[in-house]
Amino acid sequence: MIRREFLKKSTLAGAGAITAPYLLPSGRLFAASGNRSANHVVLVMFAGGVRHQEAVGMRYLDDSQVGEPYPGNIMYNMLTGAPPEMKIVYGTGEGGINPIPPILSQSLASQGTLFAEVEALSTGHFGGLNSIIQGSVPGGQGLKQRPVNPTIFEYLRRHGGYGATDTWFVGNSIGGSLPLLNYSANPDYGIKYGGNFFAPLITFGEQGFEYLGNAKVYHPENELAPMYQLKAFLDNNFANNGLLLDSLGNTEEEKQSIKMFMDLMYEKIQAGTITLPPVTDNADTATVGFACELLSWFKPAFSVVNLSSVDACHSDFTGYLKSLHRADHAVGFLWDYIQQIPEMAGNTTLICVPECGRNDNPNAILDDNNWLAYDHSDFNSTRIFSLCVGAGFEPGLVRGSEGNPIGRASDAMMTAADILGVDTSLMSPYLYGGTTSFLDQL
Amino acid sequence: MSTQDLNNKIVESSEQGSLGKLALLATATAAALQSCKKDPEQVGVYELNDVALTTDSANKTRLKTNEQYVSILFTNLFQAGISSDIVFELNECFLSIGDQELAREVLISNLFNNPAVQLPTVENMMADLDGFIEETYKRFFVRLPSEGEKTWVRNFISNNPYMTPELVYFSFALSNEYMYY
């Protein structure tokens, strides 16, 4: 009789454990889909408003400056096509006459899938970045305001069970409300599911080095442990008043790892050994250098890198071309470097997508070459592209064409979630209508 | 009166006495039960106002900005003011790091490498532990500790040989209460 009861109860308990949803320490209620097609995704927000004509169109000056019929591809690490033959201004040296040699022997487009024209959901930077990070452009989303809807970092951490240091956002500055994009204001998600963030040019720049670069080393057991214990007592007393201060949720081990990474960066800066692209003469290229260091240290499941120097195009078309060429150089370097990280090589998907495009017609500002500049506000500014390389993306495939868009900016985050095994149906209430993984649009 | 009659009277008298005692007991019990009943009308007869009891930290409800935090931290640690340039640069440092608690921790551990930090020695701390605890609460939390807090912290420091004034200050500067005003 006792044995029979035991068998009955244990069977019921077992069935319950299998069928009932369970709550993991990360706060995750449901299991991830588990179908990862790669262990790592690197998403590059490229790169501050890229005009479709100079990017996928490969028309260099031909479609932007009257009387300058010189087409060509200045993004030859990413796209397949011959570079311009005349009027070279985007390279290095006096007048930029020396194009930067390609890093990759084969363009990323030939290694992966190019979505030749994709719909941007916003013609502005912050709106565009939000559309990539949160997969939507909700009404009421303002500048200097955290995303209204959950971000990809929160979906990954809450529903995918990823740790805080599994998700990183590497910003090229602290301007444009960029530091607000690592988690949303959504009450069901928020900071405890946020991604880690560094703006390395500040953190590891002059002021970062001065105020953060000389941290005292404490013994983890003898000194740090009692220090945290006393802090916990003080916090518990304060929590009795109903006031809690949520944090990003880095574990103590993760915090120690971040501190060690910071110390390493300060050491490398002093020694001049930071990994940098061969040509590092602007913020984007330097940011990618630090992003490579970060990938090498943390091997995160998901990381976002933001580039934005091409926004010089508002008043300096020549500067825009230079920055676009360097952004391509930086992405080529990034992909090449990823292949040198054993845990990430052959197991990483790279997604590049601009947050917005640029106008069809120029404004009235002339640069040193008497070339007109371009803002971003018209329909042409919604014309962007997406380049996806890695598991699941067919090499050399081109989907869509100029005037025949396939996909939208919000698809990038859905693709990342899809690749990393998160049940994307949990995200749909907050997403822009029709948002679909690029993997489902091949 | 025969002996038999006398005995009968004694028994009768004894039974009457027992009944009397029982009656007395019942009356007393009833009176006691009646007197223990709470009279709802009696609440508030002391004519005192209700007072909500809270801790001294309860009125700290506003989160400090990064600028406020570093300004106050500098003052607390160095007993001197901080220039607006440094406040601006430190705010940028904070903005460049996602985990703000970690950023504060790294900043504080950097500041403790500065010899200008005003710290009592371990000997001074142990010589007057209660005084040190009170001063630390006043310095960082702008209030006195409760007796419970003082006792707990005193025992904690006494029982942890590695605790120094620096680590105590570190805990207070990193605490949630210090983030509010």
Among B100, B106, B175, beta carbon nearest to A234: B175
Scanning every residue of chain A, which has its alpha carbon at the shortest distance from the alpha carbon of B156? Answer: A230
Scanning every residue of chain A, which has its alpha carbon at the shortest distance from the alpha carbon of B158? Answer: A226
Question: What was the pLDDT predicted at A18?
Answer: 39
Taking only the tens place, the pLDDT of each residue in A165-204 is 999 999 999 999 999 999 999 999 999 999 999 999 999 9
- Beta strand A348-353 pairing with A383-389: antiparallel
Q: How far is B169 from chain A (nearest CA, A)?
A: 9
Q: Looking at the predicted structure, is the pLDDT value of residue A334 above 80?
A: yes
Between A208 and B22, the more confident residue is: A208
| A272 vs B175: CA distance, rounded Å | 37
> Superfamily for A40-217+254-441?
Alkaline Phosphatase, subunit A (3.40.720.10)
Q: How far is B36 from chain A (nearest CA, A)?
A: 36
Q: Looking at the predicted structure, is the pLDDT value of residue A12 above 50?
A: no
**pLDDT (average), residues A231-253:** 85
Taking only the tens place, the pLDDT of each residue in B95-145 is 999 999 999 999 999 999 999 999 999 999 999 999 999 999 999 999 999
Prediction ipTM score: 0.89
**A226 confidence band (pLDDT: 50, 70, 90):** very high
- Report how many Cβ contacts below 8 Å link chain A to chain B: 141
**B17 confidence band (pLDDT: 50, 70, 90):** low
Q: Mutate which of B67, B71, B97 to disrupt the A interface (most A C-beta within 10 Å)?
A: B97
Q: How far is A247 from chain B (nearest CA, A)?
A: 7
Is A183 in contact with B100 (CB distance < 8 Å)? Answer: no
**B149 confidence band (pLDDT: 50, 70, 90):** very high
The two three-digit tokens of residue B104, written as one number: 């504060």
Contact A203 B93 (CB under 8 A): yes
The sign one gets for the Cα dihedral A89, A94, A98, A104 is negative
| B120 vs A47: CA distance, rounded Å | 52
Question: What was the pLDDT predicted at A161?
Answer: 94
**B45 confidence band (pLDDT: 50, 70, 90):** low
Q: Which residues of A touch B168 (CB under 8 A)?
A: 230
Percent of chain B with pLDDT strictly greater than 70: 75
Q: Looking at the predicted structure, is the pLDDT value of residue B14 above 60?
A: no
**pLDDT (average), residues A109-117:** 98
Percent of chain A with pLDDT strictly greater than 70: 91
Question: What was the pLDDT predicted at A24?
Answer: 40
Q: Looking at the predicted structure, is the pLDDT value of residue A17 above 50?
A: no
**pLDDT (average), residues A26-52:** 79
Distance of CA A199 to the CA centre of its chain: 12
**B25 confidence band (pLDDT: 50, 70, 90):** confident
DSSP symbols for chain B: --HHHHHHHHHHHHHHHHHHHHHHHHHHHHHHHHHHS--GGGTTTT---------TTTT--SBPPHHHHHHHHHHHHHSS---HHHHHHHHHHHHTBS-HHHHHHHHHHHHTTSTTS----HHHHHHTHHHHHHHHIIIIISSPPPHHHHHHHHHHHHH-TT--HHHHHHHHHHSTGGGB-
**pLDDT (average), residues A229-245:** 85
Question: What was the pLDDT predicted at B54?
Answer: 62
CA terminus-to-terminus distance, chain A:
60
Q: Which residues of B touch A228 (CB under 8 A)?
A: 171
Asked if A259 reaches chain B (Cβ–Cβ under 8 Å), the answer is yes
Q: How far is B68 from chain A (nearest CA, A)?
A: 17
Question: What was the pLDDT predicted at A179?
Answer: 95
Q: Which residues of B touch A251 (CB under 8 A)?
A: none
Asked if B153 reaches chain A (Cβ–Cβ under 8 Å), the answer is yes
Between B58 and B92, the more confident residue is: B92
Question: What was the pLDDT predicted at B132?
Answer: 97
Scanning every residue of chain B, which has its alpha carbon at the shortest distance from the alpha carbon of A220? Answer: B162
Q: Looking at the predicted structure, is the pLDDT value of residue B87 above 60?
A: yes
Q: How far is A5 from chain B (nearest CA, A)?
A: 49
Scanning every residue of chain B, which has its alpha carbon at the shortest distance from the alpha carbon of A228? Answer: B171
Q: Looking at the predicted structure, is the pLDDT value of residue B48 above 90?
A: no
Q: Looking at the predicted structure, is the pLDDT value of residue A438 above 50?
A: yes
Percent of chain A with pLDDT strictly greater than 90: 84
Q: Looking at the predicted structure, is the pLDDT value of residue A234 above 50?
A: yes
| B81 vs B76: CA distance, rounded Å | 9
Round the average pLDDT of chain A to a whole number and report it: 91
| Residue ranges of B 108-147 with Cβ closer than 8 A to chain A | 109-110, 112-113
Question: What was the pLDDT predicted at A355?
Answer: 96
Compute chain A's Rg from CA coordinates. 24
**A309 confidence band (pLDDT: 50, 70, 90):** very high
Question: What was the pLDDT predicted at B158?
Answer: 96
Distance of CA B128 to the CA centre of its chain: 21
Q: Which helix (H) or strand (E) holds A115?
A: strand A113-119
Q: Residue holding tokens 């976002």?
A: A304
Asked if B66 reaches chain A (Cβ–Cβ under 8 Å), the answer is no
**pLDDT (average), residues B148-170:** 96
Q: How many CA atoms lie within 13 A of A134 on its CB side?
A: 28
Question: What was the pLDDT predicted at A30?
Answer: 41
